[in-house]
Amino acid sequence: MSGGIELTAIDHVVLTVADVQATCEFWTRVLGAERRTFGDGRLALQVGAQKVNVHPAGPEPFDPNALHATPGSTDICLLTSTPLDEVIAHLLAEGVTLVGAPGLRSGATTPIVSVYVHDPDENLVEIACPVPRDAASPSAATRAARDELAAAHDDGSGHATHIGEVRRGFWLDQGPPSDDTQRLWAPWRFSYVSGGTPIEGCPFCVIPARGPERDRESLLLHRGEHAYVIFNAYPYNPGHLMVIPYGHVADVEDLELPAANEMWLLARRAVPLLKEQLGCQGVNLGMNLGSAAGAGIAPHQHLHVVPRWGGDTNFISVVGGARVMPQALTEIYDLLAPAFTEP
């Protein structure tokens, strides 16, 4: 509550558009809104219990009004109970181009999985499915949704498309399927395969030395006194974190006790955060000490904190045709950073 006013909900928003009829046709046909007429012939689009009023651009016919309203200046998120795979299939069938890849994002009251499109005025419209925060039985819900969608997408060949993956051409070029190849989205890996600027020296020493002003760019989530938390740039799962001491130390027996203690305290803090914000059902904690143990950067020890879901991605599940639910690392960073900095 602020300033003596207790806000409870948003009743409606206003879209300023170049073509009222084109906007109403898109919102009703593609987005499923209901066209409404109210007042003195004014038009609105009913979205659940709320509405979107549609105003033509130019001299504002209604008073009072926004002083600088222009078409294409609105960014709105719509919630849906329709599974995201079905939303995407419908949008593509309507010839609508997706803006970026689907992903997990932070909603007003709960995490959401969503996709973006532009309407005729190039307003950004996000269509989102809420993800339950309690995750009391998310694995059962996920399995049920996966099985339902798999049955719906089975083409009789014995191969059913899994949630989060598509056949060749389905949303890459929107053409007909031409093989059984499945696409696993991992957008954060592009900078790696395209050969981004390499770090000279130990990255676990160089990155924190850049300074806090570059923390988001570096995906450095939290700075402690003796250790810090950072995203793994090439993760095993979305939300894969690492807790790293500032000191360039390879072996745990050589790590000073204050740094060792803080590493585990930060890991303990990260685990419930991943459960709450990402809805994971388990977490792997572990260290690979030495190249023979699989350490990618052996001279500087680091503790992995990996969120896990029932049936999530690993080498065997990928080979077996299981799904991947990818997410741009900066989006997960923006989801976790505010919560991690809270006392």
Structure tokens at 247: 């000191």
Q: What is the pTM of this model?
A: 0.46
Can you tell me the distance from the alpha carbon of 27 to that of 35, in angstroms, rounded to the nearest whole number?
Answer: 8
Tokens matching residue 163: 């949630």
Q: What is the pLDDT of residue 233?
A: 82
pLDDT along the chain (343 residues), means of 10: 66 88 93 88 87 83 73 88 85 84 77 87 88 48 41 43 31 34 49 58 90 90 94 85 95 94 95 89 91 89 90 49 56 85 63
pLDDT of 99 reads 83
> Does 240 participate in catalysis according to the annotation?
no
Helices (H) and strands (E) in the chain, counts: 9, 15
What dotted CATH number matches 12-130? 3.10.180.10
Q: Under CATH, to which class is 191-341 assigned?
A: alpha beta
Q: What is the pLDDT of residue 198?
A: 64
Taken in order 320, 325, 327, 329, is the CA torsion positive or negative? negative
Rounded Cα–Cα distance for residues 276 and 269 (Å):
11
Helices (H), the chain: 20-29, 84-93, 138-153, 190-193, 203-209, 215-218, 257-278, 315-319, 329-341
Q: In 3-state terms, the chain is what percent helix, strand and coil (to 5)?
A: 30, 25, 45
Catalytic residue among 55, 226, 240, 302: 302
What confidence score (pLDDT) does residue 244 get? 96
Angle at CA 150, nearest 5°, toward 147 and 154? Answer: 145
Domain ranges of the chain: 12-130, 138-183, 191-341
Asked whether 93 and 112 are in contact (CB, 8 A), the reply is no
